[in-house]
Structure 1
Amino acid sequence: MNELESCIELIHSARDPGEAFRYFCQIVESSGYDRVVYSLLTDHPSLGLPKLHGLASSYPEDWMTYYAEKSYLEIDPVVHTVYRLGRPCFWDDVVANSDLSDDAQRLMHEGGEAGLCSGISFPMLGLAGEVAGFAIARDKKTTERNDYELMARLYLLGTFFHETYRTMYLQQSRLQRPDLTEREHDVLLWAAEGKTDQEIGLILSISFHTVRFHWRQIFRKLDVTGRNHAVTKAIRLDLMTPEIIRTPRLLRG
């Protein structure tokens, strides 16, 4: 078994998403990089998750907190580059771009001070426009030429990790299906059909405030913060199938 096969086998042997990420970090470290962050660059209805920086991360925690507080995901030039081009890139190539805004240059400088001096970023393109990505970094710059062979190897392994993580995350989520009441189920179904809370109340013959009560219960049980997130997560967990709504429940047998 060659080195690439051994790395794939290591990731494949993971028992859960967290372990898969730890194994991928070990592989990255053996390649000369010591930090990894795996993010969702767009909303991911297929996972029931919103746009999220650092779904899994070994970056310094204080940098991750600072990055989130500054909303740096919106101006990160590396993120914008891989999202626009749809292919991997070296950070040095992005920084060399003379068109970078002052804010983007400051972000890259502050990242360097946090120990993220150079790196490679990779996009992961999914169905229905979903885009994930990961970035690997190290705490020093080098004068060596960009290693495209290493980039290709890590891109391949990153793609395998990405698919493994997604599969395990979905399997793990389905094992944690919450119990919804019949009324909570109805509220979700009608919301999936695009009905407002006022319309849902009229259809179910309950008050607007009662609809809002059911939403609070749904948010708590699904561990979400909004209607769209609740609907997508309920669909992913096979808690409902919106297509079954063709007539109001009162008219169905």
Structure 2
Amino acid sequence: MDKETIIQVSSVSKYYGANKAVDSVSFRVNEGELFGIIGTHGAGKTTLLEMLMGIRMPDQGSIRIYGHDVVLEAERLKEDIGIHLQSTSLVDKMNVREAMEMFQGFYKRKNNLDLIIEQFGLSPYSDKLVKRLSGGWRQRTALAIALVNDPKIIFLDEPTTGLDPQAKRDYWALLQLLRQQGKTIIVASHDMEDMQRNCNRVCVMRKGEFITCDNPSTLIAQLPRGGLTMEAVYMHHAVEMNGSVSV
């Protein structure tokens, strides 16, 4: 049975002066998907994610989550959304549990913190200051914070940047576990191998536009000169090729 479409983006644009950060982008995300977005720096990925989260308002178009307008009903939707912090500077002087408790206080819906800490292997670190953790454990903590309200949708912006290969594998394993639990995950990342291995669909952004969007194996198979990896898809569509498509 087809999954329900829970995010519908229709002709969304965001401008900064003459710069089109996001240019007439349309797409949908289905319930339970691990949905990837790739593109070079400046392609518009972060701006798009911020609009999906209700942090920035689109200049044109509409974004609806569970049928509700992200701009007009932001307060209602925040209970359904989890956000991975790009920076942990806000919680660096707190220990892991304190940081989770602080963010949980922003929501009406409460998840079981002890269960999250155990599930993420954070029990030995729960009383340690976040700033004292290694990069991998800091990112685990940031992801744990995104779950304090038991969200249905999780947004992640370059969550594994700077992590060593094992920490990246561990992080993606957590994302797969969350997806198996029914979470919908939207992630922007430059980890092409992991995007290929884990995402149900990947969309390519270039200069604010969506160039193409499909499952990784189809994107690879459609490369005109042949290719075996998402890295080749990235080089062809995000770096070399112009175009636009709505999905």
In the superposition, the TM-score normalised over structure 2's length comes to 0.26
Q: Which has the higher helix share?
A: 1
Pick 1 or 2: higher relative contact order, CA cutoff 8 A, min separation 6.
2
In the superposition, the TM-score normalised over structure 1's length comes to 0.26
Q: Which has the higher strand share?
A: 2
